[in-house]
Amino acid sequence: MIQPRTLKGFRDHLPAQALVRERVLDVARRVYRSYGFAPIDTPALEYLEILTGKGSEETDKQLYRFTDHGGREVGMRFDLTVPFARFAAQHVNELGLPFKRYHMATVWRGENTQRGRYREFMQCDFDAIGTTSPVADLEMVLVVHDLLVAIGIERFKVRVNDRRVLAGVLGRLGLAERATGVLRSLDKLGKATAEAVAAELEGQGVAGPAVATLLEMVALAGPADEVLGRLHDMAGDGPGTAGVESLRGIVAGAAAAGVPVGRVVVDPGIARGLDYYTGIVLESFLDDLPGLGSICSGGRYDDLAGLYTKQPLPGVGASLGIDRLLAGLEELGRGGGPETPADVFLAYFGPAHLADYLKIAAALRRAGLAVEFFPEARKLGQQLKLASKRGFPAALVIGGDEFQAGTAQLKNMASQDSTIIAWHGDADALAAAVRVALGRPGSPARTSG
C-alpha cells in the first residue's frame, strides 16, 4: 500500500473549508468586477528566464524549477505580478490603456511553512496599469475596503503610506542610498521592539539623531490630519510633499466614497519590503489577529514590465492572500459551516416513485434551489441523520403516504419543524412553495456578477 500523504506546505481542502474558500473567491470576484476589473489567466509554468531576476534573490531561491520533457528550463510562478508583467508586455496592443485586470490563481514558493504560510497558495490580484491617476490609487484602497467588508469582516484596518514620504524623510537624513536596508529594518517594528530596531539601524551605520527621527516617524499615529501634518514637516519640500498630498487625497477620497473614518489609517510604518514600489503602499490587518500579517497588500509602481518591453507601464495594484485570510478566519472560529452547497435534501423511499422524485428534483432546480436527491433508499432516520450532519437547511420527505395524499413534508433541519405542502402532483407548484417556505419568494435569482 502506498501511504496517502501530501507534501510539506501543500494541503487538501475538505468540503467545509472548500465551501468557505469558494465563497470568499466569489465575493472577491464580485467586488473586483464591480469596479470594472476584467479577469485574465496565465499559465502556471513560465520560461525560467521570465521568472528569475524579476523578484528578489529570495524569490529565486524559493522558485520551483525544473527541466521539462522538451529540455526547456521552466519555473512555476511564485506570484501573479511577474506573469502579469509578461502578459502586459506581450498584449498591450490588444488591451488598450489604462487596463484593469484581476487574477485569482495558485502560486508556489518553496519556503519554510508556518500557520498561514504555505508552499502552494492562492492570490487574488487586481491591478490598474497605464495610469498614474490618483483615482487609480484611491480605487485600490476602496476595493480592499469593500472586499473585506463583503467577506464579512468588520474589524480590520487598511494602512496606507507613500514611498515618496519615506524617500523624502530619508533624503533629508542623508540616507537615500541606504533606503532599502533602512526600510526593511523599520518594517520590523510591528514585531520587534523599538530598541531592537534602533540597534539594527545603528548597526547599519545610521547616526543616532537620524535613528530617533526615523523611530519618531514610524510611531506617528492618530487622526490622519495630524499624522499628515507631522509628516509634512519631516519630509520637507519635493517628492515628500507630493506623497503627503497624495495621502491626503486618499483619506479624503475614502471619506467621500463612504468608508467609515478610522478604517483607512495613515501609517508611516508601512514600508513594504519590495523595493519596486514608488508611490502609495498599503497593507491590511485583522484587528483581532495582528500577528497573522497583512492579508491584502499592494502599492504603486513606476514600471511593471520594464524587463519585457520598452513601453513604460506604470500601475497600481494589490493582492488578497486568501489562504492566509482563511487561516485567520478559521482561527477566529469562522471556518466551520455546512458541508454541502445544497439547499434541499430529498429523501428517497424506493424505485416505485423514482420518476416522481426526478421530476420534483428537476422542478426545484429550475426554481433555483440546489437539491441533493439521495441515491439510496436507506431508512428515513439514517437519511435525515446524514442530512443533518451535512448541514442541509431543509429536507423534503415524500413517501407513499404523501404521494397518496398529494402532499409533501418539508422539514426545517435546524428547528425540527416541518410543514405540509399540498401540491397534488404539480412539481413546479411544489418547488414554488418550497422556495417560499425557505424564505426565498419571487423568481429565481439571476446569477450574475
For binding to RNA (CB under 7 A), which residues are involved?
Answer: 5, 7-9, 56, 58, 79, 109, 111-118, 121, 123, 184, 187-188, 191-192, 272-274, 283, 291, 293-297, 319, 321, 323-325, 349, 378-382, 384-389, 397, 399-402, 409, 411-416, 418
- The least distance separating RNA from the CB of residue 262, rounded to whole angstroms, comes to 21
List the grid coordinates of 38. Answer: 476584467
Residue written as cell 417560499? Answer: 436
Q: Which is nearer to RNA, 146 or 402 (CB)?
A: 402
Q: Which is nearer to RNA, 112 or 443 (CB)?
A: 112
- The least distance separating RNA from the CB of residue 211, rounded to whole angstroms, comes to 17
DSSP label at 129? E
- The least distance separating RNA from the CB of residue 184, rounded to whole angstroms, comes to 5
- The least distance separating RNA from the CB of residue 209, rounded to whole angstroms, comes to 24
Q: Which is nearer to RNA, 62 or 90 (CB)?
A: 62
Q: Which is nearer to RNA, 187 or 253 (CB)?
A: 187
C-alpha distances in Å from residue 28, one per residue of 136, 157, 271: 18, 18, 25
Assign 403 to helix, strand or coil: helix
DSSP label at 244? H
Whole-number Å distance between alpha carbons of 240 and 237: 6
List the grid coordinates of 219. Answer: 510611531
Q: Which is nearer to RNA, 123 or 213 (CB)?
A: 123
One-letter amino acid of 209: P
One-letter amino acid of 122: M
- The least distance separating RNA from the CB of residue 172, rounded to whole angstroms, comes to 24
Tell me the β-bridge partners of 299: 281, 317
- The least distance separating RNA from the CB of residue 127, rounded to whole angstroms, comes to 12
Whole-number Å distance between alpha carbons of 230 and 220: 8
Q: Which is nearer to RNA, 8 or 366 (CB)?
A: 8
**Cβ 400 vs Cβ 348: under 8 Å:** no
Whole-number Å distance between alpha carbons of 159 and 185: 18
Whole-number Å distance between alpha carbons of 52 and 272: 21
List the grid coordinates of 150. Answer: 463583503
Closest CA to 128 of 176, 84, 73: 84
Q: Which is nearer to RNA, 179 or 274 (CB)?
A: 274
Q: What is the CA radius of gyration of the chain?
A: 27
**Cβ 396 vs Cβ 410: under 8 Å:** yes
Q: Which is nearer to RNA, 114 or 443 (CB)?
A: 114
- The least distance separating RNA from the CB of residue 289, rounded to whole angstroms, comes to 10
- The least distance separating RNA from the CB of residue 225, rounded to whole angstroms, comes to 28
